[in-house]
Every structure is written in structure tokens, then in C-alpha cells.
Structure 1
Amino acid sequence: MKIVFVGAGKVGTVFGWYLKSKGLDVLGYYSRTLQSAKQGAFETDSRVLSLEDVVNLGEIIFITTSDNSIREVCQQIAKEYGFKGGQTVVHMSGGLGSDILRPAKEQGANIFSLHPMQAFANIEKAKEEIKNTYFTFEGDGDEKQIIELLEKIGNPYTKIDCNSKSLYHAAACISSNYLVTLTNIAVEILENIGFKDKEPLKVLLPLMRGTIENIEKLGVKEALTGPIVRGDYNTVRKHIESLEELEDIGKIYKLLGKETVKLAQKRNLTADQIECLNKVFEGWE
């Protein structure tokens, strides 16, 4: 199984390194930026490739460019060099389906998207975390090589439908990107009451880590703590009143509060508590 990469950003570099560490045959990288290709090749003990090398040598071709460039790069390769029948062409975007690789399919290649549910903010950190990463894939054509690759690296994986990619990626954004945004909101609130510099994160991170650990150990429903799951609508009312001057943050608090009531209903809240909580979030006295 000869593997090549077009694009040597963080995702392509880390995934290539991981494949190499699992004993797979990574031949090298092509990138529009020579320095990036050299870095990818260095990380995987492989070599810098031309696009012609990519199509001549690769059995599995990973297009790991930015999402906006995947279609264009696939079209360029198809037009200038041509994909071969039986090759497997893969992109690793979370939000895009395999159908954007249609030019490769029209030339007889198998096309897939393969996505690691992981944040790649830092290469070294991503290397540590990828061994525990969950993968999803979908595509059109013979799945043999993709399944073989996933079995060799040993990570858990699931096949999904191409039409579900946007919803799948929305879930990823909420759990990762929006977690950062929510943390920033909490930091801003603490800064407004006098916390300075790195103090807000020192206060919040232990709580956040404990919550993540509880979700992992207990599941989402049982990990929920706080005033809503206790039915303490008076505390919730005070929160809303204190956030009135922070208009947008107050709206976010209410929207998330309504969703939290739905989750809390799965616990031991009484009908009266649920009704009172919903009325508080709707602005009733």
C-alpha cells in the first residue's frame, strides 16, 4: 500500500507521521510550498514529490490541502496528469463530502473522505492525541484499501453517509470550537468582576477538566451538575438578572439554559421544577 500526500499542513503531516509509525509505506509529499513538502518529508522520513510522482507512485493519494483547495487540486491533477483506475483518492475535511473528488472518480479512481475527530492546533500535541482519535469515512468505490488502512492503524472508526457530513461537522464544531468560545465568554465575565491576566483560566480550567472527566466516566446525563439539574430556578433568575448588561451573553445563557432543561428532564426534576425553569428562561416572573 503506497501512500502519498498532496498538501503538507498540520493534518497531512501528522497523519502521514502516524501512518509511518504504524509501519505503512508513506512515499512522500507534494506541496505548492517547497518548505512545507520538505517538512512533511522530514517528519515521515520520506521525500518531496512532484504531482507527476503522486499519480505515478501512489496507490492511496491523500489530498490534505485547505478545504477551499481540495476540488481545485483534484481537478488540476485529473486534467494535467490523470488518475489511474483502482487508485484511491482521499481528502480529510470534516465538512466536505467525497463527491468533490468527482474528477478522480470519472477517471476510474475510488474516492473517499476520511476524517479524524481531533483538533490539530499544534503538530506535537496532535501527535500525542491521534492514537486515541475516532475516524469516520464515506465515499464511492472499493472500500478495501481504506478499511485495510484503518485496521492497520487500529483506531476506532465508523462509516457515515455523504449527505450527513455537514451535520457531523457541526457536531464537531460545537464540541470543540464552541467550547473555546464558551470559555472565552466565561473569561470575559470574570474579567468584568475584577479577575486579571491569567486568573480566569486558573479558576475555570480545573472545573472544565473535571467536567470532561465526568462526561467520560459517567456519561452526559449523569455529568450534569449545577442549578438547573437541581431545579434551583431562583439561582437561574439571579444569573439572568446579573447578565442583563451583557446583552448577547445573556441571550446565549438563556438559549443554552433551555437546552440544559431538556437534558435535566432526564434526571429527577419534578414537573413543577421544569415548568418554573422554563418560565424563568422565557422571562416570566
Structure 2
Amino acid sequence: MAQVLIIGAGRAGSSMARALREVGHEVEGPVGRGFHYEEIDDRFNVVMVATSDDAIASVSSKIPASPNRVVVHLSGSLGLDVLNSHPRRGAIHPLVPLPTVELGSHRLLSGISFAVAGDEIVQEIVTSLHGNIVAVADEDRARYHAAACVAANHVVAVMGQVERIAESAGLSVDAFLDLARAAIDDVARFGARNALTGPASRGDWATLERHLDAIDVSEHAGYRAGVGMALDLITTRDVIEVLDEPVDEMPEVRSPSGTSLVG
């Protein structure tokens, strides 16, 4: 098992520290501001930098370089170049939200996927956490992290719109959560394109227009963006089959009454 020092006492560092201890690693920290970097010696064969992305380069530059130590960051968007002052380096990014330390540490041990790069010890750590290894090259890291943010952060933002519109109809968001879960399950089973249902997938412009008439104008931009992304999943041929409309009439994506449905 690894001898790990964790720098960064936020949710990510604290969750990782608890999870690593539970599976038998010796962990010191997480330490925060005021830590004396000269205290880092060869008893630590792994130093994890769990700070904000903007601080990783600065923090890692203060860690004494050693061939006996792997410096690892937990960023999803940064590559290994940010750790270039160290001969051995790696990256581990858990593909799961860590909203609290208790829930975060539990999720880290629940068989989730981790995006890894660099020294082979990072794969050993993920395996010890019962995780699934997803190798992501440096040149793909930003695109990978963009997808991760859409999957987590943007989905939450969309559910925020569900909550607001539901409340405007006198309903709780709870009534819609099973629907959202089922939609995610369908994506896992069939893929996003084949999982798509609803009025946009059928070209039911009248229903979409009624929605825009009913909801607050402040929700129009988000709703139209969603319709646009739904239409992106449908090929031109699919739309023609549903609507029996000529190709040159499709790009504007307007309802029969002329209302723009995507912006």
C-alpha cells in the first residue's frame, strides 16, 4: 500500500483521504495553507495535489522532486505538463460528484470510473479503490473534462429548470426525478440518439410552441437550447420522414406559425 500525503483540504482531498484510509493506505492529511513543504521526505511515495486547478502548478513546484516519489493531481482538465518539475507524475480524476466528505468517500469506493494518466502507481491506487480505469491522454484531457462537466454540472442545471417550471405549475421536482433517472438509464441501454423521445423527436412543433407560451419568458433560452440539442440528435433524414418537409425548409427550425423553436 502507498504512503500518501494529500495537499488540499477541500471536498476532493478530504474525500480521497478517507477513502484511501478505508482500503489500507497510510495517509497524512489533507493539509492546507500553512503546511511546511520541507517536511516532505521519502517516507511519502505519493503526494496528491487536491487543490483548485489554478493552484496546482504553484503547489507542485514547492514539493521537493525525488525519483522515489510520484506527484499526482486530481484535476480533470489538466495534463501532466503542470507537474513537469517532477520525474514521476500522474493524474487521477474521479468521475463522480463529491458534494460532502462522507458521501464523496463512499462514492469513491463504489466502483466508479477514474480518468488516469502517468505513472503506473495511479492505476494501482484506482484498483485498490475498486475503481474502473479510464486512460485519458493529455491532448484529450480538456475534451474529456468538458464531457464530464456536461454529464454532471449541466445536467444539474437542467434539473434546476425542471424544478422552476414544475414549481410554477404547483408541483414538486420530486415528481419528475424518476422520469430523469429513466431517461439516463435509456441512454446507457440504447445510446442518446435512440433514447430520445418527446415532441422534438416527433417534430411536434405545436406542442413545443405551447410550452413556450406557457412557461416564463426567462426560461425560453434554456428551453430552446434543449430543443436545439434534441434536434441535433436527429438526422435530416429522420426529420423529413417524420414531417415530410423539404430539406431546405428545415434549418430555421420554426413551428408552422413561424415561432423559432431554437433561438
With the shorter chain as reference, the TM-score category is: 0.7 to 0.9
1:118 to 75, 96, 105: 96
Which residue of structure 1 aligns with residue 230 of structure 2? Answer: 260
Judging changes above 3 Å, is the alpha-carbon distance between structure 1 residues 159 and 267 closer, same or farther for their aligned structure 2 residues?
farther
SS of equivalent residue, structure 1 residue 136: strand
Aligned residue type for 1:242: A
Q: SS at 1:200's partner residue?
A: coil
Match of 2:72 in 1: 90
Look up the equivalent residue of 1:214 and give its one-letter code. Answer: D
Question: What's the TM-score, normalizing by structure 2?
Answer: 0.82
Q: Choose the corresponding residue for 2:217, options 233, 246, 249.
A: 246
Alignment pair present for 1:220 and 2:207: no
Distance 1:222 1:73, change over 3 A: same
Contact 1:93 1:115 in 2 (8 A): yes
Determine what percentage of the aligned residue pairs are the same residue.
23
On the 8 A contact 1:237/1:280 being kept in 2, the answer is no
Local SS of the residue matching 1:146: helix
Q: 1:30 to 1:241 in 2, by over 3 A?
A: closer
- Asked if residue 235 in structure 1 is aligned to residue 207 in structure 2, the reply is yes
Q: 1:158 to 1:230 in 2, by over 3 A?
A: same
Q: Secondary structure at the match of 2:98?
A: coil
Of the structure 1 ranges 87-96 and 182-191, higher mean CA displacement relative to structure 2 is found in 182-191
Please tell me whether residue 32 in structure 1 is matched to residue 18 in structure 2: no
Counterpart of 1:137 in structure 2 is: 116
Unaligned runs of 5+ in 1: 35-48
1:15-55 CA deviation, whole Å, 9 max, x = no partner?
Answer: 222223223x3231252358xxxxxxxxxxxxxx8533433
Greater shift after overlay, 84-93 or 221-230? 221-230
Separation (CA, whole Å) in 2 of partners of 1:275 and 1:85: 66
Kept in 2: contact 1:4–1:60 (CA 8 A) = yes
Aligned residues: 253
AA at the equivalent of 1:72? S
1:89-238 matched pairs, under 5 angstroms: 89-103=71-85, 105=86, 109-130=87-108, 131-139=110-118, 143-193=119-169, 195=170, 199-238=171-210
The whole-number CA distance in structure 1 between the counterparts of 2:177 and 2:111 is: 22
